[in-house]
Amino acid sequence: MKRLALFALFLASAAFGTTQLVADLPALSQSAALIVVGTVRACAPRLTLDGRRIITDTEIQVAEVLKGNADGPTVVVMQPGGIVGDLGQKVEGTAHFTVGEEVVVFLDRRGADRFAVTAMAQGKFRIERSTDGKAIYAVPEGGGSSRLIDPLTQQETQSPLKAMPLAELKLKIAAALAAPAAAPVEPTRPILNRAGQ
């Protein structure tokens, strides 16, 4: 029965979609409080104090800081959703992390020692290496499964973020930080709509 309830909860979440404003690399770079390159060390789902929601804390071992101050060798990224026992919650559009994965993440500060991914899944790049180890690429997660809206036209659009060599991504972030401020990225809280609306 519990397994059926868990399945029904995930199935029900598919009827809802997350809508958010599209973010480009300059906006992500300038809006984020912290940008790090690192490796995912742990993903720990937990219930909130009221027991109504599930939050997943993802610990990332920091290898390089591209913006801001990490305040230590690791950062903890909070995201809504996860599985605790027989209970599960899913929020469309959140970034997906797996233990051992190398990432570049754009982060907003949430309290003294926690962060959230800037613009949800748009603020995460996965690092992939060629089999010989000579080529290293940064691959964006984009908007995940959320609908992205152009802030000017208010029309649905595609993510402008593209895969590129990691070194190129770092150069583009540095250039964005040196340029005049871009339009701010909307908060990472999703807007939930029924699918197709």
pLDDT surpassing 70 at residue 183: no
Mean pLDDT of 122-150: 88
Q: What is the pTM of this model?
A: 0.81
Whether 197 shows a pLDDT value over 80: the answer reads: no
Tell me how far apart the alpha carbons of residues 131 and 123 are, in angstroms, rounded to a whole number.
26
The reported pLDDT for the residue numbered 36 is 98
In angstroms, the first-to-last Cα distance of the chain is 32
Please compute the mean of the pLDDT values over residues 183-192 and round it to a whole number: 51
What the block records as the tokens of 97 is 């992390």
> Who has greater pLDDT, 175 or 6?
175
Instruction: Classify strands 87-89 and 82-84 as parallel, antiparallel or unpaired.
Output: antiparallel
- d(CA 175, CA 186) in angstroms, rounded, equals 21
pLDDT tens for 65-115 read 999 999 899 999 999 999 888 888 888 889 999 999 999 999 999 988 899
pLDDT of residue 184: 59
Q: Give the pLDDT mean for 25-32.
A: 96
pLDDT reported for residue 6: 38
Whether residue 17 has pLDDT greater than 80: no
Residue tagged 């997660």 (tokens)? 141
Alpha-helical regions (H) of the chain: 2-13, 25-31, 166-178
Asked if 40 contacts 125 with a C-beta cutoff of 8 angstroms, the reply is no
> Which range is least confidently modeled, 5-14, 113-122, 183-192?
5-14
- For 8, the token pair is 């029904």
**Mean pLDDT score across all residues of the chain:** 84
More confidently predicted of 192 and 25: 25
pLDDT band at 2 (very low <50, low <70, confident <90, very high): very low
**Residue 29, class by beta-carbon neighbours within 10 Å (0-12 exposed, 13-18 middle, 19+ buried)?**
buried
Percent of the chain with pLDDT over 70: 82
Q: Which two three-digit tokens encode residue 18?
A: 């997350």
